[in-house]
Amino acid sequence: MTLLSRTDKSLLGRWWWTVDRGMLALLLSIIAFGVVLVASASPPVAERIGTGEYHFIIRHLILLLPALVIMFGLSLCDTKMVWRVALCVLAGGLLAMLMVLAFGTEVKGATRWLPVFGFSLQPSEFVKPAFIVVAAWLIARQKEVPSFAGQKWAFGLYGVVLTLLLLQPDLGMSVVVSGCFLGIIFLAGLRLRLVTALLALAIGGLALAYFCFPHVQSRIDRFIDPSSGDTFQVEKSLDAFKNGGLFGTGAGQGTVKLDIPDAHADFIFSVAGEELGLLFVLVMVLLYAAVIVRGFNRVMDSDNVFAVLATGGLLIMFGGQTLIHMGSSLAMLPTKGMTLPFISYGGSSLLSMGMAMGFVLSLTRRQARSGIARGSLSLKPVRASA
């Protein structure tokens, strides 16, 4: 603590005293869990696909560094910088998504990846947080300058992103993006009637997807009636939790990773359940919940509508993705290949989450005016002076 004095006015000094250090600690803890779990879960997967035992561990660690740099770098930015960066990433991302559709590599029935420097990048992962920030800015801008048709722009942008995602097709990502957009609109104070209508539309869209995409239909059928098809992954996943029990089998001793194809990514929560046991899994759930609660609580203090909406949307993305991953592996939701933020292996996911949480850290930095006045951790809405 003596490293940076209170009065240090340097970039780093101001950062240290204004950034949400608690949130930083939470995220670093989650990342530590991730390193342990990927190290344990990935060797069998690597062996299966014929690469070296440490293939995924090394890549995870290599990508962790830029992810942390991105997160740290973005947290240094001010609000204006945040939306500029987001806008650039969005533009680049959308372009990349178009390129993916043109000459992307098809993996397991979907075209999502673009080879960059020996890594497969998934542009949609970067589009997701960038879109949230840009949409939040557009809507917030209309609040300040009513003549600016930000909402229309935001809806238009949403349409473009959704179309590109469905063309891949990537229904999971579409659901997450839609959820976040709905969340932003909800926070932005759209009339509840409109929110309900949009929700109905989203459900209708899901129903449509059920009938349009056979793999979606089959997954949902199997979720509703497990006997209707092969529920191997979910069964194995539940077995893993049962096998783990209270204390787990110990790191590296689990068996679920031997059977589930993407244990290091889509089912890493089950690996945690088996190897670390219930107690550590509860700690993990607590950490994720704390990130959400702390993030919302912190942004309460902000009097910047853009910051509030963007942070809200990003936290909804973070929390939603977490819940979908956990829900899938606990057979509470249809199986959906969703990464667990900061824990699952997956370069794009890691980098995009680094970016998203960098945005959050930046947007929740304590402002000179309000920070001192409202230092409380209360969840109660703090009313601005009328």
Partner 1 sequence: MKGERGSALDQARGRMVIVSAVFVLAYIIVAARVVDISIIQGGFKGRDVAGYADESRDEGALLRRADITDRNGVLLARSLRTASLYVDPSMVRNAEEVAKSLVRLFPDLNYGSTLKKIQAKSRFEWLKRNLTPDEQQKVLYLGEPGLAFKDEDRRIYPQGGLTSHLVGYSSVDGNGIAGVESSFDGFLKGNNPSLALTIDVRFQHALRRELNAAMHEYKAKGAAGIVMDVRNGEILALVSLPDFDPHHAVDAKDVQKFNKATLGTYELGSVFKVFSVAAFIDSQKNPLRKAFDAREPLKRKSARPIRDYHAQERILSLPEVFIHSSNIGTALMAETMGTKTLQDYYTHFGLIGKSPLEIPEVATSRFNTPWHDVDTLSASFGHAVAVTPLQLITGVSSIINGGEKIEPTLILNDNTHQKAAKSVSERIVSPQTAHRMRQLMRLNVTDGSGKKANVPGLMVGGKTGTADKPGPGGYDHDKRLSSFVAAFPMDDPRYAVFVMLDEPTGTKNTNNFATAGWVAAPVAGEVIATIANLEGLAPRIVGQDFESTLRHLVKSEEQVREERNAQSH
C-alpha 74/C-alpha 99 separation (Å) is 26
Q: Closest CB to partner 1 among 73 and 371?
A: 371
Closer to partner 1 by Cβ: residue 102 or 386: 386
Q: How far is the CB of 21 from partner 1 (least distance, A)?
A: 20
Residue ranges binding partner 1 (CB under 8 A): 44, 143-144, 146, 183, 186-189, 238-239, 241-250, 253, 255, 258-259, 273, 277-278, 281-282, 285-286, 288-289, 292-293, 296-297, 299-300, 303, 305, 308-309, 312, 316, 319, 323, 326-327, 330, 332, 379-386
- CB of 221 vs partner 1, minimal distance in Å: 22
Residue where the block lists tokens 């926070």: 187
State the minimum distance, in angstroms, from the CB of residue 166 to partner 1: 26
CA distance 266 to 349: 12
Give yes or no for a contact between 198 and 182, defined as CB atoms under 8 angstroms apart.
yes
Give the shortest CB-148-to-partner 1 separation in angstroms. 13
Strands (E), 108-190: 110-116, 119-121
Closest residue by Cα to residue 308 from 359, 351, 380, 352: 359
**Calpha distance 307→108 (Å, rounded):** 38
Question: CB-based burial of residue 361 (10 Å sphere; 0-12 exposed, 13-18 middle, 19+ buried)?
Answer: buried
Could you tell me the CA-to-CA distances from 357 to 69, 279, 292, 309 in Å, in that order? 11, 26, 11, 14
Residue 76 has a CB neighbour count (10 Å cut-off) of 16
Question: Which of residues 44 and 354 has its CB atom nearest to partner 1 in the complex?
Answer: 44
Closest listed residue to residue 130, CA positions, set 173, 168, 94? 94
Closest to partner 1 by CB, 123 vs 183, is 183
Starting at the edge strand found earlier in the chain, the sheet holding 110-116 runs 105-107, 110-116, 119-121
CB closer to partner 1 out of 89 and 275? 275
210: region left, alpha or beta (phi > 0 left; psi from -120 to 50 alpha): alpha
Nearer to partner 1, 115 or 189 (CB): 189
- For the CB of residue 54, give the shortest distance to partner 1 in the complex, in Å: 19
Provide CB contacts within 8 A for 339, sequence distance 6+. 265, 266, 321, 325, 346, 349
User: What is the smallest separation between the CB atom of 170 and partner 1, expressed in angstroms?
Assistant: 23
Nearest approach, Cβ of residue 251 and partner 1 (Å): 10
Q: Rank residues 97 and 134 by Cβ distance to partner 1 and give the closer one.
A: 134
In the bound complex, what is the minimum distance in angstroms from residue 125's beta carbon to partner 1? 22
Nearer to partner 1, 109 or 381 (CB): 381
